[in-house]
């Protein structure tokens, strides 16, 4: 079944609306332990004419009704983390602050080859605590718990597509584009990391290769991204192991990941 946001009278008939209380109940551990009073999970598929939300799981039906029945654009651009203040229209921010008491919000997105998953958190606290969002292990544990508890709801909503016209979708841009100038300004040829008990100086190439490896890229994929040969990738890995006195790539990557924030 499909619902179009232009047909606003159907929004409150959508399963996402009347299942909000169940989502809030599942999120009780989140709300009880953090200064958070709103959670939303979305899965969005994009094409040339519209965004198709295959799942919208929300904990506050009033905010759901307001945002879908307003004319505010929907933000889906694949950035990893951004705040409501940087992406939400001023009128929507004002409405969020006064009605559902969602003073501050953070949206975290993960771009996949076929869709964008979003996790949205909000708080009535002006000084929004982001300890959950800043703790990847904790965040992944909560998300695993949530998807397990909400499995039946996710299955239902996967069949209840919400179509959003292009006119209400923010222009999809390269999520890294705003930071290109900043990255260029801080770019260095060598990077120093605390590697177990010693400071290790990595070359830019070594750092980039290790960063891509811990993201799950293969040697061949890394060679293609960096425009070097797979043999050259292996050479850089050999020098990185030699610098750090590690004997396997697995151990090298474990220590490298521990050295990062």
Residue appearing with tokens 């070097």: 228
Lowest mean pLDDT among 19-33, 128-142, 213-227, 244-258: 128-142
Phi, psi of 81 (to 5 degrees): -145, 130
Whether the per-residue pLDDT at 114 is higher than 90: the answer is: no
What is the predicted pLDDT for the residue at 48?
A: 66
Task: Name all domains of the chain by residue range, CATH numbers in brackets.
Answer: 2-172 (3.30.450), 188-259 (1.10.10.10)
Whether the per-residue pLDDT at 233 is higher than 80: the answer is: yes
Mean pLDDT of 155-174: 73
What is the predicted pLDDT for the residue at 103?
A: 86
Which 3 state secondary structure label does DSSP give 116? strand
Q: How confident is the model at residue 164 (pLDDT cuts 50, 70, 90)?
A: confident
Highest mean pLDDT: which range of 20-34, 55-69, 131-145: 20-34
Q: How confident is the model at residue 253 (pLDDT cuts 50, 70, 90)?
A: very high
What is the predicted pLDDT for the residue at 38?
A: 93
The angle that helices 90-98 and 61-69 make with each other, rounded to 10 degrees, is 160
Distance CA 138, CA 123 (A): 18
Whether the per-residue pLDDT at 7 is higher than 70: the answer is: no
> Tens digit of pLDDT for each residue in 59-107?
998 888 888 888 777 766 666 777 887 777 788 888 888 877 888 888 8
Where do the H-state alpha helices sit in 8-127? 15-18, 20-26, 28-33, 61-69, 84-87, 90-98
Whether the per-residue pLDDT at 219 is higher than 60: the answer is: yes
What is the predicted pLDDT for the residue at 75?
A: 67
Whether the per-residue pLDDT at 50 is higher than 90: the answer is: no
Instruction: Give the pTM.
Output: 0.73
What is the predicted pLDDT for the residue at 175?
A: 54
Q: How many CB atoms lie within 10 A of CB 162?
A: 24
Whether residue 181 contacts residue 85, with contact meaning beta carbons closer than 8 Å, is answered with no
Burial class (CB in 10 A: 0-12, 13-18, 19+), 42: buried
Q: Is the dihedral of CA 199, 202, 206, 212 positive or negative?
A: positive
Burial 71-82 (b: 16+ CB within 10 A, else e): ebbbbbbbbeeb
């Amino acid at each position: 079944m499909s619902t179009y946001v232009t047909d606003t009278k159907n929004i409150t008939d959508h399963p996402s609306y009347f299942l909000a209380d169940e989502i809030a109940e599942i999120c009780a551990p989140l709300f009880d332990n953090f200064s958070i009073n709103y959670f939303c999970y979305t899965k969005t598929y994009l094409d040339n004419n519209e965004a198709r939300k295959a799942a919208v799981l929300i904990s506050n039906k009033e905010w759901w009704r307001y945002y879908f029945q307003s004319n505010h654009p929907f933000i889906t651009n694949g950035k990893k983390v951004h705040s409501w203040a940087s992406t939400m229209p001023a009128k929507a921010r004002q409405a969020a602050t006064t009605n559902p008491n969602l003073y501050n919000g953070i949206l975290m997105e993960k771009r996949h080859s076929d869709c964008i998953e979003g996790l949205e958190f909000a708080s009535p606290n002006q000084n929004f605590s982001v300890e959950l969002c800043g703790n990847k292990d904790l965040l992944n544990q909560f998300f695993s718990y949530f998807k397990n508890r909400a499995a039946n709801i996710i299955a239902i909503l996967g069949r209840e597509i919400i179509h959003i016209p292009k006119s209400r979708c923010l222009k999809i841009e390269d999520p890294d584009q705003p930071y290109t100038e900043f990255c260029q300004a801080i770019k260095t040829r060598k990077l120093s990391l605390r590697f177990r008990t010693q400071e290790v100086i990595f070359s830019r190439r070594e750092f980039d290769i290790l960063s891509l490896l811990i993201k799950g890229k293969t040697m061949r994929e890394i060679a293609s991204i960096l425009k070097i040969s797979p043999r050259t990738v292996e050479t850089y890995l050999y020098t990185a192991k030699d610098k750090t006195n590690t004997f396997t790539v697995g151990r090298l990557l474990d220590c490298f990941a521990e050295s990062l924030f």
